[in-house]
Structure 1
Amino acid sequence: MANKTDWRKEIKSWGLILAFIAFLYFTGLITPIMGGVQSILLSTGLIKPKITMVDKENLDFDYKGRFSNMAGAAIELEEYRGKTVFINLWATWCPPCRAEMPHISELYKKVKDTENLEFLMIALDNDFQKSIKLHEDKGWSFPIVHASHGLNNSLQSNSIPTTLVINPQGKIIFYQEGMSNFDTKEFRDFLTGKEPN
């Protein structure tokens, strides 16, 4: 009899948990909550970008492409040739993307005045207005663009967030799928071309 009661309690417990998760999912709260939890995890410093692990190391970057900025104007990828470019593919519905955005925003604030360094934060949402609204609500410091004209082969990825760094010679020198806290001294030095101490 005890086993039957335990079994019923177990089913009831799982039912409540699943109902709570369904509530979060259908109200749209699960994405910001998961993003917030993952952002806290990134703040611990346990997840950092592996600068030496580059899947597409020394491949030439394809500068063919066009994006739309927040004002609706076209941005040509060719404009970034000859510069160091930090590129991030993200979407509002992606909790790991939302988790790393505050850290990228802090990184951007610290390095934005570096000569010849650009950030290209590419939103993949179907509705760019959702991306713009989240950007404004969160007060992120970096500008965003929309992949309204598609992505070239260099920007194709199996998952998001995906981050690339392109050097002024047009080579991919950093490539990572998955979230990281990019606001570290090591990564800032890598991005700005400073020699490690």
Structure 2
Amino acid sequence: MNWKKEIKNFGLVIGIFALLYFTGWITPLMGGIQSLVLSTGLLKPNVVLENKEDRAFDYTGDFLDENGELVALESFKGKTLFINLWATWCPPCRAEMPHISDLYKKVQDEKTIEFLMIALDNDFNKSIKYVAEKGFSFSVLHANKGLNRSLQSQSIPTTLVISPKGKVVFYQEGMSNFNTKEFTEFLLNL
């Protein structure tokens, strides 16, 4: 075994990771790779809830919209809510965003469905800029006052669907491709 060659190869790999990390390219690169995996259809949302079924959703709280206006969560009572907790620094969040955008385009004309894309970045302008640069047509909200008990999660991305009756009917921590026929029908039939 040639130790000098092994050390040289190891140093090259470390150098590439250091370059990606310090230039900030690691997050978009990992998000892009994960988005490709989602495009394969291997990771689909499971619309059957486990341990969260029929829990009442807490509508308390306000979010900041892109114009700096407060939006009350209770103003969405009586609608189907697709809620996604995300951040620009999260590669899995970036990976699922194009698929969420495609789903949004399919159902955006439905007056009974609202998408609440809740950004958890400290700097909300980063979130707004990211969505604009990617050309996503949904708007984003900022959790500037924190999250109520129904929205608190151990990880991001986290996605919830709330029925018009105020029940949590879908809850998932982790990324998924929500732009499927089954999930679209699930949303439209609530």
1:98 aligned partner, one-letter code: R
CA contact 1:54–1:176 (8 Å) conserved in 2: no
Aligned to 1:166: 162
The range that moved more, 161-170 or 52-61, is 52-61
SS at the partner of 1:107? helix
Aligned to 1:65: 61
Q: TM-score, normalised by structure 1?
A: 0.94
Shift of 1:15: 1.3
Listed one character per residue, the Cα deviations across residues 98-141 of structure 1 (whole Å, up to 9, x for unaligned) are 00000000000000111311000000000000001101100001
Shift of 1:54: 3.7
1:134 corresponds, among 127, 130, 135, to 130
5 Å-filtered alignment, 1:14-25, equals 14-25=10-21
2:44 corresponds, among 16, 36, 48, to 48
Shift of 1:57: 1.4
5 Å-filtered alignment, 1:38-187, equals 38-187=34-183
Structure 2: which 5+ runs fail to align? none
Q: TM-score, normalised by structure 2?
A: 0.97
1:38 aligned partner, one-letter code: Q
CA distance in 2, matches of 1:98, 1:55: 27
CA distance in 2, matches of 1:77, 1:53: 23
SS at the partner of 2:9? helix
CA contact 2:160–2:171 (8 Å) conserved in 1: yes
2:12 aligned partner, one-letter code: L
Count of residues paired in the alignment: 190
2:162 aligned partner, one-letter code: I
The range that moved more, 136-145 or 52-61, is 52-61
Percent identity over the alignment is 64
CA distance in 2, matches of 1:88, 1:51: 15
Shift of 1:8: 2.5
CA distance in 2, matches of 1:17, 1:157: 34
Structure 1: which 5+ runs fail to align? none
Which one has the largest radius of gyration?
Answer: 1
Matched, 1:10 2:18: no
CA distance in 1, matches of 2:50, 2:19: 39
CA contact 1:121–1:145 (8 Å) conserved in 2: yes
2:108 aligned partner, one-letter code: K
1:118 aligned partner, one-letter code: E
CA distance in 2, matches of 1:183, 1:164: 15
Runs of 4+ in structure 1 deviating by more than 4 angstroms, as ranges, are none
CA distance in 1, matches of 2:70, 2:109: 23
CA distance in 1, matches of 2:157, 2:18: 24
